[in-house]
Amino acid sequence: MRSLEFPLGRRAALSALVVAVVLVSTLTSAPVVGAGQSAEPVDLDAIFKIKEEGFQRSEVMEVMSWLTDVYGPRLTGSPGLKNAADWAVDWLQEHGITDVTLEPWGPFGRGWTNDKFAAYVLEPTPYPIIGYPKAWTPGTDGLVRGEAVIAIIDDEDDFETWAGKLESKFVLTSTMPAVAALFEAPARRFTDDELEARAAQPMPTARGGRRGRGGFRGGANFSARRNEFFIREGIAGLLDPGRGSGGTVFVGSGGSRNTDAPEVPTQVVLAIEHYGRIYRTLEKGIPVVVEMEVDNQFYDDNLDSFNVIAEIPGTDLADEIVMLGAHFDSWHSGTGATDNAAGSAVMMEAMRILETSGLPMRRTVRMGLWSGEEQGLLGSRAYVTAHFTDRSTMSLTPDHEKFSAYYNVDNGTGAIRGVYLQGNEAIAPVFEAWMKPFENLGMTTLTIRNTGGTDHQSFDRVGLPGFQFIQDPVEYNTRTHHSSMDVYERVQAEDMMKNAVIVASFVYHSANRDELLPRKPLPAPQGGGRRGGR
């Protein structure tokens, strides 16, 4: 189906198109419980209300635009993250969710922003350069000009080779990689065969001997020594070839958020096509003169960070908790759209749907929008440690016993196709029943497999039921993940609305189920030793 694009402020057009494309096939559902099916109760009246609210009056793409177009990158510790969080608090409160806080955690370290970047080749032929500074690296001292040079330093002898030759130079750090043609489209959805394969139980493979250590030939400290060398030599900056092509540049960090970390040089990742043009010109023995201005700012005034926490109070089981969440932080070269304003907007919209629909919920529903995910799930881990248990001791708080489930979205804009069960066999019959009304939206697959790299792991690792949804990959790994193309235009409105409706339904049923969701056995404390009783 062709994806739909909806201009902001055109809510009437949005509703009409969605009704035509989606609602006709989804507002009515066949009975879930029947011969050979799970007896897990499914509230079809509630699902009707959730679908109607989520498809006819969706605000998810408006939230997306505010988080991306207006507030842009949300690197943890940056003003952009705080401004976006303040807006999210106001938006949630305006939609009737009054119990909203910015809950601090820390320490995290200093914040960082890139406030200006401009780069040009001046000689032999002038042209602008596409590039992005690496996070937590310093800028230039205003507008600087210097020759480019290929100086690849990857062993001890290279230090002597280049000593005294790099002052005020822009240093190309790597050989020119091959750039393949894009014969296949970067976007795709899972096929039925791929989903069937994903649902299969993975089998362990035999392990070999110990693997050797990777890294530079010069040893574990070589990268730091190389940075020291570049700073001593007084280079203008390092120019790295970007991963990706066709205008997409993947950018991460080149420095440290720690205030006492060693100094690093200015570092810029260039679009591979522009890196290649400079590289090939230099190979011909023709000088290349580059002019560049990089204005980067560090923020040391508050070294802690925060999570956005919001609640809808429950009724007779209000002391028990169902959670949903996504990470709110992003990298800086795009606007953090698919990673992960998409997940954050879906969760905010799911909360709006549940609140606006007026559906009663027995358990308290709590949303967490996490910071520090990109640096290692820091915000969600801090939250779990503070509220449920420290992984190192597994000494449980009362709330650990009253926790039902955590649902996470963090695989881009793609439509939800199922759930990763994280090895929790007992949950499968429950989720099978809850998925049934969404088969006509493409949600068909449960897999016992684990998936990693996002915040549900913070819950799963301490024995709490934490789940990430299976999502269509769309362009996530090929184009948008941590890249300059992680922007609003790459987000699919239909998928976002479907995802918010599915999350709202799973949360609603978790909140009203007679029993807490089944759990796996508690893990042993991280430090080892015998596991204590619950």
How many whole angstroms separate alpha carbon 92 and alpha carbon 100? Answer: 7
Omega before 124 cis (within 30°)? yes
Residues of the chain with CATH 3.50.30.30: 111-181+217-299
Strands (E), 273-402: 289-299, 305-312, 317-327, 363-370
Classify residue 479 by its DSSP letter. I
* List of residues 6+ apart from 474 with CB closer than 8 A: 187, 188, 189, 338, 412, 413, 414, 490, 492, 495
Judge contact between 345 and 64, C-beta under 8 A. yes
- Note the pLDDT of residue 25: 42
Classify residue 340 by its DSSP letter. I
How many whole angstroms separate alpha carbon 134 and alpha carbon 118? Answer: 14
Judge contact between 50 and 359, C-beta under 8 A. yes
Q: Which residues of 323-354 are buried (b: 16+ CB within 10 A; e: fewer)?
A: bbbbbbbbbbbbbbbbbbbbbbbbbbbbbbbb
User: Beta partners for 401?
Assistant: none
Between helix 44-56 and helix 11-18 the angle, nearest 10°, is 130
Can you tell me which residue has the tokens 């235009």?
489
Structure tokens at 216: 């530079």
Phi–psi pair at 309, nearest 5 degrees: -120, 130
- Note the pLDDT of residue 12: 43
Tell me the three state secondary structure of residue 75. coil
Please state, as a whole number, how many other Cβ atoms lie within 10 Å of the Cβ of residue 494. 20
Judge contact between 415 and 441, C-beta under 8 A. yes
Tell me the three state secondary structure of residue 289. strand
pLDDT (tens place) for every residue of the chain, 534 residues total:
333 333 334 344 444 444 444 443 444 333 344 333 458 999 999 999 999 999 999 999 999 999 999 999 999 999 999 999 999 999 999 999 989 999 999 999 999 999 999 999 999 999 999 999 999 999 999 999 999 999 999 999 999 999 999 999 999 999 999 999 999 999 999 999 999 999 998 887 765 544 444 344 555 589 999 999 999 999 999 999 999 999 899 999 999 999 999 999 999 999 999 999 999 999 999 999 999 999 999 999 999 999 999 999 999 999 999 999 999 999 999 999 999 999 999 999 999 999 999 999 999 999 999 999 999 999 999 999 999 999 999 999 999 999 999 999 999 999 999 999 999 999 999 999 999 999 999 999 999 999 989 999 999 999 999 999 999 999 999 999 999 999 999 999 999 999 999 999 999 999 999 999 999 999 999 975 443 333
How many whole angstroms separate alpha carbon 192 and alpha carbon 175? Answer: 41
Domain 11-108+304-512: which topology?
Answer: Aminopeptidase (3.40.630)
- Note the pLDDT of residue 206: 61
Please state, as a whole number, how many other Cβ atoms lie within 10 Å of the Cβ of residue 28. 13
Can you tell me which residue has the tokens 């030793």?
529
| DSSP H helical ranges for 96-221 | 156-162, 192-199
Q: State if pTM tops 0.75.
A: yes
Classify residue 242 by its DSSP letter. P
Omega before 107 cis (within 30°)? yes
Cα–Cα distances in angstroms (integers) from residue 28 to residues 91, 147, 372, 377, 520, in the given order: 31, 67, 41, 39, 35
Helix (H) or strand (E) holding 400: helix 398-401
User: Integer distance in angstroms from the first to the last C-alpha of the chain?
Assistant: 50
CATH 3.50.30.30 holds for 111-181+217-299: yes
How many whole angstroms separate alpha carbon 63 and alpha carbon 349? Answer: 8
How many whole angstroms separate alpha carbon 385 and alpha carbon 105? Answer: 10
CA angle (299, 302, 304) in 5-degree steps:
115
How many whole angstroms separate alpha carbon 374 and alpha carbon 387? Answer: 21
How many whole angstroms separate alpha carbon 174 and alpha carbon 238? Answer: 10
- Note the pLDDT of residue 39: 87
Classify residue 146 by its DSSP letter. E
Half-sphere exposure of 375 (CA within 13 A, CB side): 27
- Note the pLDDT of residue 71: 97
